[in-house]
Structure 1
Amino acid sequence: MTILKQKDFTEHTNPRLAAGEQQEKDVAFYLRRAFKNNENFLVLNDYRFTFNEEIAQIDHLVVHRTGFIIIESKSIFGEVKVNSHGEWSRSYKGQWTGMPSPIIQAELQKDLLRKLMIANVELFLGKILGIQTQVTHREWDVLCTVSNNCILHREDIPKSISKQVIKSESVADEVKRIGGYSKIGSLLSTKPVFNDEELKNIGEFLLERCLSNVTTNVLSSTNHAEKLESETIEQPIVTKIEAIKEQPNNEKTISLACKKCGETEKLTAQYGKYGYYVQCGVCETNTSMKTPCPACGNPKSRIKKQGNHYWLTCDCSYNEVLFVNK
């Protein structure tokens, strides 16, 4: 269970956009080569999420045994300087101009992700002696990758920032240095460590909260007793959802009702330890969304979330909206 999310890159005619995509592609390549079969790391490229009415996009998110690494990619091909105040400047054809700090950008994304994880920690971490474990004091690191041919004037960059700025080709080594793990080493350390089940749960949680504007691929490892299910959210599903948004009165939904009182309107979608469910606003009863496939009766149908739409899908090609969270 390593590369949880990849990005479908497009060909840009705009040189600046093309350079940015190439930089992200390069970093994704180095991460994939290093961690594709490493069960101690989860990698999500181009991870987009929303929390507290804020939207964030992380170029590369790495989850390791002791924490999280947020990586901001910058396609800088000239020279880079950072002054003592942490202010960035770059050169292009001999002309120096200021630029936003990618470290500050990544820190903002990190803070929002941290708040999202803290607010939902009971969904992916368990309890010890009845006390809920937390992610608050896990390791939260930020890195900025620049193009391999960029010239970094490290002699002028503050040390605290210099160690966060690396060339693309060094990203895998730096991630290993930060998130390196061994069972023997963990016994000698006081750092809390995510176990296999917690890593799996974190991966599932992050994918469930991922905004659905890009294709998502889940790659599973045979080293886990309970494997993440291999799935691909294909473009036709995204297209279908967009059509529903344009014609909300034509939605085709399956009947979903509270198992206790039969309420069908005052229901709110939730996600918990056992998957998606709806909470009744009348009697407060929780009802699982899991239901046999209406087409073939398969009890192992799956729930897919896309925005506020919850789809019931089956291996028999059945694919319909089960519930719309209003």
Structure 2
Amino acid sequence: MIIKEMDHIETNDPLLQAGFCAESQLAFYLKREFKDDPLFLIFNNLRFEKAGDACQIDHLVLHRYGMIIIESKSVTTRVEVNELGEWKRWFNNAWQGMPSPILQAQRQGKFIKDYLEANVETLLNKKLFGNQSHFTKMPIDVLVAISDSGIINRPKSDKLDIVCKADQIPDKIKGISTAYRKKDSLFNFSLEIAYELEKDEIPRISQFLLVHNQPAKINVSSNINSKSTNNSNQPSSDITNPSISKPIATDKPTPLPKKIIPVPPSNHQQSDISHKPIIKTVKPTSTNTCSHCQSPNLSIAYVHSYFFKCNDCSKNTAIKNICTSCGDRAKIRKSGLQFFSECEKCNTSRLFHTNF
């Protein structure tokens, strides 16, 4: 299931545009493959801050055996990896060195594991004899997605299976999950025990990621000369991709609906990206509870209007959708399993609830 769609960006910077295009391309493949699959929860464009550090994750997959972090790279020419794991790309008719996206994704994995562990008592259940479960042993696999139009030159001594074209990523994700499932099988005679999240832990982790996501502030007035600005003193958030050539074309275009921030990839969205309205996003909250049993295990349903249906006591609760900024009544917009609270007066849109 797609839990978090792509965040739309407003910028004239060709580097940011190309990076957004590559991420949109992969987001399209992920949505096409997993939009109706409850075993894989897909998050696009997550960003977290902690103690002056920032972590930007292009795509994150949450499944019963752990997580998968996918780093998207916009490559319209060639990338090459040598025997020492050093990366370079062909740009402007010359080879240029670049940071390893594998190491980049691994650093993101360490950050998110530490970030979750700091809240382990509220996210994970206690096991037998009251022992607390932990995220320290949770596996976080990494994948690197290269644009479909790019060419990958691999080292002779390593197939480098975790680096592939964007359209191959869904199969890689299912392969990783299958490998863990075999370890968890009764026919697994090895001593290795697979890490497994409990059924009620997964929605708690999912909601935690949504609530604590802090979108990066993009300078909408940036122009083509802004790429020469050096921001080395700011925390590394992995937002920009160095040495990116022109944006890549993706699959069939989808027009941007009014007041929607997430968008699928488009062949033509780059041509009018500077003309779309700027929508202010608000960090989602998770204070909704059943008015009868106070359970947070709710789903939004619709008959003549939207209301909460408690999954524990089966009773209904009215939705009081009030804008947190101005206090006026806001509207509810449904997008898949996500419900957004939108205030026309404040021009804001925030994630209000996600059905599981």
TM-score of the two chains, using structure 1 as the length reference: 0.64
Q: Which residue of 2 aligns with 1:172?
A: 170
Q: What amino acid is aligned across from residue 106 of structure 1 in structure 2?
A: A
Q: Which residue of 2 aligns with 1:106?
A: 105
Q: Which residue of 1 aligns with 2:45?
A: 46
Distance in 2 (alpha carbons) for counterparts of 1:313 and 1:126: 38
| Structure 1 residues 78 and 318, CA gap change in structure 2 (3 angstroms) | closer
Distance in 2 (alpha carbons) for counterparts of 1:62 and 1:311: 35
Equivalent residues in 2 for 1:238-257, closer than 5 Å: 238=282
Equivalent residues in 2 for 1:302-317, closer than 5 Å: none
Aligned residue pairs total 242
Q: What amino acid is aligned across from residue 140 of structure 1 in structure 2?
A: I
Q: Name the one with the larger helix percent.
A: 1
Q: Which residue of 1 aligns with 2:212?
A: 209
Q: For residues 51-103 of structure 1, what are the alpha-carbon distances to aligned partners after superposition, in whole Å with 9 as ceiling and x for unaligned?
A: 23311110001111101111110001111111222211111243111111111
| SS of the residue 1:89 aligns to | strand
**Is the 2:72–2:144 Cα contact (8 Å) retained in structure 1?**
yes
Q: Which residue of 1 aligns with 2:132?
A: 132
Distance in 1 (alpha carbons) for counterparts of 2:196 and 2:173: 16
Distance in 2 (alpha carbons) for counterparts of 1:53 and 1:22: 29
The percent identity for this pair of structures is: 35
Q: Which residue of 1 aligns with 2:150?
A: 150
Q: For residues 146-168 of structure 1, what are the alpha-carbon distances to aligned partners after superposition, in whole Å with 9 as ceiling and x for unaligned?
A: 11121111244745xx1221110
Which structure 2 segments of 5+ residues have no match? 218-259, 263-277, 284-294, 298-316, 332-340, 347-356
Q: Which residue of 1 aligns with 2:87?
A: 88
Distance in 2 (alpha carbons) for counterparts of 1:209 and 1:122: 16
1:313 Cα offset (Å): 9.2
Q: Which residue of 2 aligns with 1:194?
A: 197
Distance in 1 (alpha carbons) for counterparts of 2:321 and 2:213: 17
**Is the 1:82–1:156 Cα contact (8 Å) retained in structure 2?**
no
1:205 Cα offset (Å): 1.1
Distance in 2 (alpha carbons) for counterparts of 1:313 and 1:124: 33
Q: What amino acid is aligned across from residue 48 of structure 2 in structure 1?
A: F
| Structure 1 residues 117 and 318, CA gap change in structure 2 (3 angstroms) | closer
Q: For residues 242-263 of structure 1, what are the alpha-carbon distances to aligned partners after superposition, in whole Å with 9 as ceiling and x for unaligned?
A: xxxxxxxxxxxxxxxxxxxxxx
Q: What amino acid is aligned across from residue 78 of structure 1 in structure 2?
A: T
1:15 Cα offset (Å): 3.5
1:111 Cα offset (Å): 0.9
Q: For residues 143-192 of structure 1, what are the alpha-carbon distances to aligned partners after superposition, in whole Å with 9 as ceiling and x for unaligned?
A: 11111121111244745xx1221110101000111123898974425313
Equivalent residues in 2 for 1:15-30, closer than 5 Å: 15-30=14-29
Q: Which residue of 2 aligns with 1:73?
A: 72
Distance in 2 (alpha carbons) for counterparts of 1:74 and 1:136: 28
RMSD between superposed Cα atoms in Å: 3.6
| SS of the residue 1:43 aligns to | strand
1:19 Cα offset (Å): 2.0
**Is the 1:81–1:157 Cα contact (8 Å) retained in structure 2?**
no
Distance in 1 (alpha carbons) for counterparts of 2:207 and 2:329: 19
| Structure 1 residues 4 and 173, CA gap change in structure 2 (3 angstroms) | same
| SS of the residue 2:207 aligns to | helix
1:119 Cα offset (Å): 1.3
| SS of the residue 2:200 aligns to | helix
| Structure 1 residues 14 and 212, CA gap change in structure 2 (3 angstroms) | closer
Distance in 1 (alpha carbons) for counterparts of 2:51 and 2:81: 32
Distance in 2 (alpha carbons) for counterparts of 1:10 and 1:102: 22
| Structure 1 residues 238 and 66, CA gap change in structure 2 (3 angstroms) | closer
Q: What amino acid is aligned across from residue 162 of structure 2 in structure 1?
A: Q
| Structure 1 residues 238 and 198, CA gap change in structure 2 (3 angstroms) | closer
1:24 Cα offset (Å): 0.3
Which structure 1 segments of 5+ residues have no match? 218-233, 240-272, 276-297, 321-326
